[in-house]
Amino acid sequence: MSGDSYDAGAKLWAQRMRDRDKPSHDFLEKPAMFAALPNLTGKRVLCIGCGSGEECQELKGRGAMAVHGIDSSAGLIEIARSSFPDITFEVRTMESIEYPSNSFDFAYSSLVLHYAQSWTDILRRIHASLTPGSEFLFSTHHPIRWGMEKSRVADHFTYQLSYEMWGSTDAIIHGDYLTERSVSDTILNEIPITYWHRPLGALLRDIIQSPFSLIDIIEPLPTDEAKTKKKNFWMVHQKIPQFIIFRLKA
């Protein structure tokens, strides 16, 4: 993942995170991630893809002894350092994680790993920095949703198949769950990003082949608050998953 795009949109990103103006975060992913946290009292925490630092502050407020946030965007790290001076922040990619063994007692990452084509080396690096028995909690795109054909013009997300079982007519297909591929997109209407879509089997294979043990998979539902504040969002995400959360044990 390149931090350049987030550098250009760093102030906008921080503002949207702090204004609670992103339903997919506020009513879906963040509540589920925070509910899955272990007891952090006295623990040293590594936050991977920390952005402008809000989640690091949340982790510190839940009892963590120390939080070390890393992000590939220098612009976001600058904002994080000025906003939360009691937390350590570092410009570093997840692909270059390298700390002594037993440096951290818990690792956390919110919606970052889909920027990597493969998790194999990243998981190995994270595992090497953790104390034995500690956890790594992370969220990423749910491939069911993100394999759909997307039209941002009208926010259409589609899987559709039309074909003649015994005829010669070519099949009409919308969406592609099974093909691993990079996808270019724009978030917050102005920040260009490129992420990787991979089917669930590929994600699980990377985890199974890593030094970690898989202890839980969470497919979060929207909060009750969403039902009154963002009813369409609530209706959609009662039926269609947007993110998936993994709990791993070192």
Find, among 160, 136, 135, 140, the residue nearest to 150 by Cα: 160
What distance in Å separates the CA atoms of residue 168 and residue 165, rounded to the nearest whole number? 9
Domain that holds residue 210: 4-145+194-249
Residue with tokens 């790594």: 136
The least confident of 47-56, 150-159, 176-185, 241-250 is 150-159
The pLDDT tens digits of the residues spanning 201-229 come to 999 999 999 999 999 999 999 999 999 99
Total tally of structural domains belonging to the chain? 1
Question: Is the residue at 221 inside a domain?
Answer: yes
Task: Please say if the pLDDT value at position 70 is more than 80.
Answer: yes
Question: Is the residue at 173 inside a domain?
Answer: no
Question: Is the residue at 111 inside a domain?
Answer: yes
Q: In sequence order, what are the residues at sequence separation of 6 or more whose Cβ sits closer than 8 angstroms to the Cβ of residue 55?
A: 30, 47, 108, 110
Question: Is the residue at 128 inside a domain?
Answer: yes
The model's pTM is 0.93
The CATH number of whichever domain residue 135 belongs to comes to: 3.40.50.150
The least confident of 7-16, 38-47, 183-192 is 7-16
